[in-house]
Structure 1
């Protein structure tokens, strides 16, 4: 069974095909790499890959949002603890408000599913996503490790974790998945009472969400590569910008940047607030993201023209009432 197929075309050489097949167990894979130059097809590599011994350190920066964190930990228990079993969680919390609730959520998870592989760091600073991820990555003392930079409103499955492992290699390649971003469920399903549980909302269709091909925040890379590239620009405060800056540094390095859609990675909808104090470029990025997250082009159009649609329906009804059919 093919689990993924990634292609890359080099303009002066040809096209590279990297196919991954699932093996006999959930952690065994077979990778077939083919290169098709501007000529006959060539086999480059045929190898077996075992991901069972590759731990992932998931780093989550957080400030308040304890309800979202509880939802995140519910998914984490099911996927990372019960299914995968090779994950460490690092939470970098900004401030003191609601810190006790976060600690309690982690301790409850540890007690309920016997999970000890977590680290909780606290920073008495203004929230900065880049700063939090940078601190979390550098806090790891167990040698080189695969990092997954994640946000609290992200949902992922066990297949994604293996995709993360398969598409990264220290000193050679980093993985920037394109995730599927959920639209506002209230608009999709008509009203809050009709919104199903989160797990049932994760359907990849044009009316339920979109591929966030402009987002670079969720990424898998080895700690050594992150340190060697210089990490995040920690001078960037608040919302956005730090992820694009890191992505561009990798593009200009000798590492291969793997950029491909991932069907096991979802951004859950949440209301966005763009602070007035953001610089103009960050504020514009935030507002663009806010607009694109609400609904599809067609759904937004129907909302925008709803008054005209309602007026048309009223007019039709009045005409029907004034010209009843003869019996």
Structure 2
């Protein structure tokens, strides 16, 4: 089995190949500039930097004298297969496997709903800021549930009892979102509103972490959608649809794909997509009719059928014509459909 070789300073490139299902060889430790501060936790820092994977020293597979490097890294199933084929099974703790990454957060969808009682929650804001700061410095907290935070006398939020991973390059949105996950069961919509504010204030580049959680966005399609780069967003939505197994999430993705396609001027693609979306919604989530009414109404208006547009949305808003007119221009900044 041929594997590409990567130095310890190029783990982000290794991450891309492992994410595509390949195994790679890490031939050296990170250099001093990128070395995690807890080298004693090897191989955790290497594995967590790559992402969801398994690692095993090559020496454990070929029966040679033990050395830390080269280190085989790859998808868990691939590395398990390699270990099973070795002349002698590698001893514990090999293969070392990272914690699973979470990519679907729809079970928390009630948090995304606007709350008229939104108020400032200093503890949540402080936790969000601390997590944003950690992630911006390539550190994952590791156990961020609500009990692992303290406040000192002046109200500053402090990290308590973390289980950190020190990465050699920026964490992926999926890694950051998984790091936030322990906090979500204790939140209400007010808390989530505060968390987003605090996290992005500390780390504006963390927008994809929020999108990963709120939209289960695995490919980054929400960022260009939000900024009006609809051709880019269309390609990224289609990429996620290739292997998305959650049927309700597929309906949501199709709804946004229809809007993005229409905004690029590809009305034929938008028409095909919205019909597929409506058929799937009828089967998997009929309760999403209000969200889809906006998509259907806006597309009808863009296609010159104002009567059909108003008919589709007449039960959704008090003044559907005003809402549709606001977004009728193909260059308008559209809301992301989420349910």
- TM-score, shorter chain, exceeding 0.5: no
TM-score of the superposed pair, with normalisation by structure 2: 0.22
When you count helix as a share of all residues, which structure comes out higher?
2
When you count strand as a share of all residues, which structure comes out higher?
1
TM-score of the superposed pair, with normalisation by structure 1: 0.22
